[in-house]
Amino acid sequence: MSPSPPHHSSRLRSRPAAVAKPAAGSRDQRRRTGRTLLMLVIWVCVGLALGNVAAAILPSLYTAEARILLPAATMTDDQPKAIETPQVAAAVIAELRLAERPDALPPAWWRPDLWAPVYGWIDKSVVKLPPLPTGLEDQLWQHVELTRFGHSSRVLAIQVTLPDAALAAAVANAIAKYQTTGGTLLSAALTPAEPSFPPQQLIVLAGAMIGLCFGVLRRGGSASKNFRGEDDIELTTGLPVLARVPRLADGKTALAHVLRDPMSPYTESLRRLHARLQSSDWKEVPKTIAICSAAPGDGRSVLAASLGRLLAGEGKRVLLVDCDWRHPDMHRLFRLPNDLGLTNLLVDKRKALDDLIQTDALSGLDIITAGRRSKTAQRAMLTPRMREILDDLAKCYDLVLLDFPPVQSAQEVLLLSRQVDRVVQIVRWRHSKRRAVLDSIENILSADGQVSGIVFTQTDPESPGN
């Protein structure tokens, strides 16, 4: 196996920042900005909807206010509290017959009887709290607030908050009538037309702000999970981006595309990848190259099949080997039988290569499918037998491409990676998770595998790369 070129590191490392590619005014940048704005608008609308629902669910409370003028001769700082007496409460309850309406004075929402155990624990263990209301008189004062308009003011406001607007006004007027301070009624309480609680506009605005904040955090979190572009992944891994392969409709379309349209951006990106892999930077041109990815669905198998078909169609002797016996794809992509494959070659030394190699009629690409899954073959893949097979194949072909299983689902890939000349890491554009890709590369490097670089798959053809 050829040694690693001098400018590549065997571990992830940081590299000097690359010059950012101009993206201002590009269609891709405008599209991403539009998607971001749309997402934020959606989250704001969700927040508005939830705010309206919360405002509709919360009970409506009405506040009525009566004002009295306190006598100057008897005015003290504690005079407002002097009104909150059992006698005044009893008189109000009797006049309005509140005892016959047990639901007229519900427990205050901030101290309901339902919370009595929690309230008692806080009162005992955390901080001393005023006692919970036990009778109708105590419950009455829970809905009353007495406020002086200033330290030296003689005007006292009696505010009563209840679910029933008419009852709130009646209670406020009754308290003003039966108060024991000798005050004079300045203005009677009127039935409020609008509820004082909940503050609907404030709740709806708070919902919109929460939705906006959540959208921003969500956008920032999703952006940090993926690589933002070539510069980002190169700076993070210290590995070069070998190619950006544009997105096509599906795998079968891609396989047909390389022969049908040999000058398309998709086909040119594959040629660029091959040229980078055959670069003069290597002391020896790699003959066995593995295509791997961190997780399924990154386009690994389609890229390997497309690259193999393109090179074979241009006259090179290329062999494509499917090493993913868990979820083999090559026989489906090329519509080939999978009865005999790599597993048979590993288990039975009597099997000849000619019995296992199948040829793509359209391009001349030779293919070894995965074969039937076998635990014996799985163990044999990690023995010198696999290395011997690869060495023999490398003598017969210009290039041997191996489609490796995802690193996350097949740890034996780490041992296989040291048996090939080079490993190419596939990263699906704006889909592969940053952490998974970094773990995949680090694990392969730790197992002494030689990672040549990164290939972005399914990219936007008009995206500049950032």
Q: Do 379 and 413 form a contact (C-beta atoms < 8 A)?
A: no
294, two tokens: 């961190």
Residue 247 burial (C-beta neighbours within 10 Å; 0-12, 13-18, 19+): middle
> Which of 3.30.300.130, 3.40.50.300, 2.40.50.140, 3.40.50.11540 would CATH assign to domain 222-459?
3.40.50.300
Question: What digits encode the pLDDT tens for the residues 351-403?
Answer: 778 888 999 999 999 999 998 877 776 677 777 888 888 998 999 999 999 99
Provide the pLDDT confidence category of residue 463 given band limits of 50, 70 and 90.
low
Domain boundaries, the chain: 60-187, 222-459
Question: What digits encode the pLDDT tens for the residues 240-283?
Answer: 999 999 988 666 688 888 998 889 999 999 999 999 988 756 56
Answering whether pTM is above 0.75, one says no
Amino acid at 149: F
Q: Do 453 and 425 form a contact (C-beta atoms < 8 A)?
A: yes
Residue 110 burial (C-beta neighbours within 10 Å; 0-12, 13-18, 19+): exposed
Provide the pLDDT confidence category of residue 23 given band limits of 50, 70 and 90.
very low
Question: What digits encode the pLDDT tens for the residues 52-106?
Answer: 898 888 888 999 999 999 887 655 655 667 788 889 999 999 999 988 887 788 7
User: 3-state class of 162 per DSSP?
Assistant: strand
Q: Which residues neighbour 39 within 8 Å (Cβ) at sequence distance 6 or greater?
A: 215, 218, 219
Torsional sign, CA 218, 221, 227, 228:
positive
Higher pLDDT among residues 415 and 380, named by residue: 415
Question: What digits encode the pLDDT tens for the residues 274-303?
Answer: 999 887 565 678 899 999 999 888 889 999
Choice among 146-155, 178-187, 216-225, 385-394 with the minimum mean pLDDT: 216-225
Backbone angles phi, psi at 416, to 5 degrees: -65, -30
